[in-house]
Amino acid sequence: MTTTTLAVLVPLLPFLGAAAGLLLGRTAPGYVRPLAVLPTLTSLVLAVLVAVDQGGDQAVNAATELTPTGSVPIELALHIDGFAALVAVLVGLVASCVQIYSTGYLRDDPRYPSYAALVSLFTSAMLLVVYSGDLIVLLVGWEIMGICSYFLVGHYWETPEARAASLKAFLVTKLGDVPFLIGLFALATDAGSFRITKILGTVASGGLDHPTLIALLLLAGVAGKSAQFPLHTWLPDAMAGPTPVSALIHAATMVAAGVYFVARLLPVFEASQAAMVVLAAMAAVTMIGSGLAALAQDDIKRVLAYSTIGQLGYMTGALAVGDRGAAVFHLLSHGAFKALLFLAAGVIIHAAGTNSLAGMSRMRNLRDRVPDAYWTMSVALLALAAIPPFSGFFSKESVLGAAEHVSTGHTEHAPGAAGWIVLVAALLTALLTAAYATRLWLLAFRGHGIEAPDHGRQPLTMTVVLWVLAVPSLAFGGFAYGTLPDWFDGRDLAPTLTTSVLGTGVALVGGIVTYAAWRHTTALAVRVPLGAVAAHPEGDAGLVEAEAIASHAPAYGDVASAPDPADPGRLLLGPLHRHAAVGFHLDAVYGALFVRPVQAGASLVRFLDREVVDTYVRGAGALPRWLGIAVRRAQTGNVQTYVSALLAGTVVLAVAAVLVATGA
C-alpha cells in the first residue's frame, strides 16, 4: 500500500468504528468493545507506518477534487510532513490508551456504546485535522471535534454541572469558531485556494493582502479550541466529563488542534508582527493566570485542567517566537504525560472515592492502594514540572531556548518583544508549575488521617495503559530532541545551558517552597475534618467519579475550591487565593459583559414585541373580529337556511345572467 492509502485509512478506520459502534450498540453489545479498541489501535499502527514511510523527508501531498464548487475549489487533500506524521502517532497512541482504559473505567456504564463510538469519532476527526491538506476539510474535522466534545463532556448528563459544562464548552468554542471561519474565507480569498501548500506558497511570495486581520481572526478560533485566554473558561468546567474524555481532549485531540493549526500555518501568522505580539501576550497571560489558578483548585482534575491551559500557553508562546518545532515538540511530550496524569487521576478518584485534594489529604496510605498510579503519576508530575531528565524538561527547554533566541534579537521571524514576553512568562510559569505539581503530589499521596478505603485492585486495563504512557513521559524527550529537528524545520531543539539552569532552578525553587509551605500547614489538617466519599465506592470508576463530581459542591461549598486551611496553595497565594480559585472571576466578567446585556436586550425586545408591536396587531385585528361576530350570527347550523341562501343567490345570478344575455 502506498503512503497515501495508509494515510487515508488512518482517520477512516476510527470513523467506521464509530459508525459501526453506533449502529450495533444496542443490538450486539458484545461487539462494542472490539469495535471501539481495534480500529483505533489499527490506525495507531498505520500512523506509525505512515510516519516511518514519511521519515521527515519531503512532505507527502495528495489531492482529489470531488466536485467543482464554482469559486475557490475544495479538495480532499492530504499534506503529511513531519509534524503531521508525529502528531498523528501521538493522537493514535493517546486515543488507543483512552479506549483501552475506558473499557475498564466505564465497565458498567449503560451508555458505554455511544460513549465509545463518540470517542472514536473524536479521534477520527482529530486525525482528519492532522492529515488534511485543505482548510475546509480541516474545518470539518475541527467542528466534528466541537460537537463530540459537547456530547462527551456531557456524558454524565444527570448532573447539572455536566449539562452546563457541555453547553459551555460548545458555546465558547463556537464563539471562537465564527471568526475562525471568516478568517479562513479571508485567507482563501487572498490566496485563491484552500490548499495549505498553495496558501504557504502565496505567503512566501508576499501575496497576502490582509495578514494581520486574517491572523487575528484565526487566532480567535485557535484560542477557543486550544483554551487560551480569554476563551479558556470552558476547559476547567469540562472536567465534569469522564476522566478518559478529559485525557483525550487535553492530551491529544481538541486542545492540540489549535496549536497544531497555528504550527501548520505559522508563516501566515509570521507575516504580521502584530499578530505575533498578540499571540505572545495571549500565551503569557494564559500561562501565568492558569498557573495561579491551578494552585488554588481543589478538584484534582481541575488542577490538571489549568495545568493543560498553562502548557498550551507554552506551545503558543513557542509559536509566538516563530519556532513551531519547539511547539510541536512540547505538544508531543505534553500529550504523553498529560494523558498519563489524567488517566492516573481517574484511578486515584476511583480508589479514594472523591475528587477533592482536601479529602485525599486526609487519607493515609492512598499511595499503597494504587501503586501503579502513584509511580506513574510521580513520573508524569516530574515531567510536568520539567525536571531533568524527564521528557517535559527537554520540550520546555526547547521553548525557553527559542524565546531566549528571539529576545536577544537573533532572528527576523518574530519581534523581540514577543521573545521577552514569552521568556519571562515561561520562567514564571515554570515556578508555578513546579509549585502546583508538588502540591498535587503532596496532597494526594502524603495524606494523614484515616486509612484510605480499600476497594481491591484496579482493573488491569486501567493500570497497564499508565505504564505504557509512562515510557514516553520518562524517555521521549531525552531520546528525541536530537532526531526531531530532522522531522521539523531543522532548527536545533537541544537545551541551552542558560535556560536549562534558569528553568530547572526556578522549578526546584517552586517545589521546595511548596514543600516548606506544606510542612507548615499540614498539621492543621487534623483539626479541620473535611471529606465526602462517593455513595457507591464498589461501582465502576465512571460511577464513582460522577458521584464525586456531583457531591463536591454540596460537601465543600464549591465545585472548584474547598475551605481547607491545610492547603499549601492557600498559604502561598495569600489574598490571591480567593480570586484564583474561581479563575480570576472571568466567568463573572463574561456574565457582566455578554450575558447581562444580552438578557437586557432580550427583555427589551420582549417588551417591544408584547406592548408595542402587539398593540398594532391587536388593533388591526379588531375590525375583522367585529365582522366575524356579525357573520357568526349567520352560522345557525340549520342546513336549510344555508341551502336557501345558496339557492337565492343562484336565482339572482341566473336572472342577472339572463337579463344580460337578452340585453335588457
Partner 1 sequence: MLAADTHGFLSPTGVEIAFFLVGLVTFGAALVTVTTRQLVHAALWLVVTLGGLAVEYLLLTAEFIAWVQVLIYVGSVVVLLLFGLMLTRAPIGRSPDADSGNRWAALTVAVIAAAALIWVVVDAFRTTWIDLDGAPAGSTEVTGKALFQNWVLPFEALSVLLLAALVGAIVLSRKAKADATPAADGGAAGPDGGGAAKADKEGAR
Partner 2 sequence: MHLAYPAVLSALLFCTGLYGVLARRNAILVLMSVELMLNAVNLNLVAFDVWLSRAAEETLHSGQALTLFTIAIAAAEIGIGLAIVLSVYRNRGTSDIDKLRDTAEGHESDTPDSEAPVDEKADEKAEATA
The residues that touch partner 2, with contacts defined as CB under 8 A, are: 632-633, 635-640, 643-644, 647
Examine residue 602 and tell whether it contacts partner 1 (CB under 8 A).
no
Q: Report how far apart, in Å, the C-alpha atoms of 526 and of each of 148, 296, 503, 552 are.
A: 43, 20, 36, 20
Of residues 69 and 641, the one with the C-beta less far from partner 1: 641
Part of the chain binding partner 1 (CB under 8 A), chosen from 185-193, 462-470, 483-491, 647-655 = 647-655
Q: 527 contacts which partner out of partner 2, partner 1, none, CB within 5 to 8 A by kind?
A: none
> At closest approach, how far in Å is the CB of 36 from partner 1?
57
Contact 356, 460 (CB under 8 A): no
Residues constituting the chain: 664
- For residue 627, the minimal CB distance to partner 1 (Å) is 23
The CA distance from 352 to 272, in Å, is 50
Q: Are 562 and 556 in contact (CB under 8 A)?
A: yes
d(CA 593, CA 595) in angstroms, rounded, equals 6
**Of partner 2, partner 1, none, which one sits near residue 633, judging by CB under 5 to 8 A according to partner kind?**
partner 2
Q: Out of 11, 641, 660, 664, name the contact with partner 1 by CB under 8 A.
A: 641
Asked whether position 655 contacts partner 1 by CB under 8 A, the answer is yes
Q: Which of 408, 498, 603, 644 binds partner 1 (CB under 8 A)?
A: 644
Residue 658 binding target from partner 2, partner 1, none, CB below 5 to 8 Å by type: partner 1
Furthest CA-CA distance within the chain: 119
Q: Classify residue 239 by its DSSP letter.
A: G
Q: Find where cell 493566570 sits.
A: 289
Q: Of the candidates 112, 141, 163, 372, which has an alpha carbon nearest to the alpha carbon of residue 253? A: 141
Residue showing cell 337556511:
641
Smallest separation (angstroms) from partner 1 to the CB of 647:
5
Q: Is 80 helix (H, G, I), strand (E, B) or coil?
A: strand
How far is the C-alpha of 130 from the C-alpha of 91, rounded, in Å? Answer: 9
CB 154 to partner 1: min, Å: 52
* Region near partner 1 per CB under 8 A, out of 131-139, 577-585, 624-632, 650-658: 650-658
Nearer to partner 1, 512 or 646 (CB): 646
C-alpha cell at 510: 517552586
Q: Residue 653, interface with partner 1 (CB under 8 A)?
A: no
Task: State the cell numbers at 384.
Answer: 510536568
Choice between 600 and 652, CB closer to partner 2: 652
| Cβ-based nearer residue to partner 1, 497 or 661 | 661
Q: Which does 512 bind (CB under 5 to 8 A by kind): partner 2, partner 1, none?
A: none
The answer to whether 494 contacts partner 1 (rule: CB under 8 A) is no
**CA 308/CA 305 separation, integer angstroms:** 5
Cell numbers found for residue 98: 483512552
Instruction: Using CB atoms within 10 Å of the CB of residue 637, give its burial: 0 to 12 exposed, 13 to 18 middle, 19+ buried.
Output: exposed
635: contact with partner 1 by CB under 8 A: no
What does the alpha-carbon distance between residue 163 and residue 98 come to, in Å, rounded to a whole number? 22
Q: ∠ at Cα 439 (464, 368), nearest 5°?
A: 40
Q: Is 526 in the site for partner 1 (CB under 8 A)?
A: no
Query: C-beta of 654: minimal distance to partner 2 in Å?
Result: 12
Is residue 638 near partner 1 by the rule CB under 8 A?
yes
When the beta carbons of 69 and 636 are compared against partner 2, the nearer one is 636
Catalogue the E-assigned strands of 66-104: 75-80
Looking at beta carbons only, is 1 or 654 nearer to partner 1? 654
CB of 610 or CB of 625, closer to partner 2: 625
List residues binding partner 1 (CB under 8 A): 638, 640-641, 644, 647-648, 651, 654-655, 658
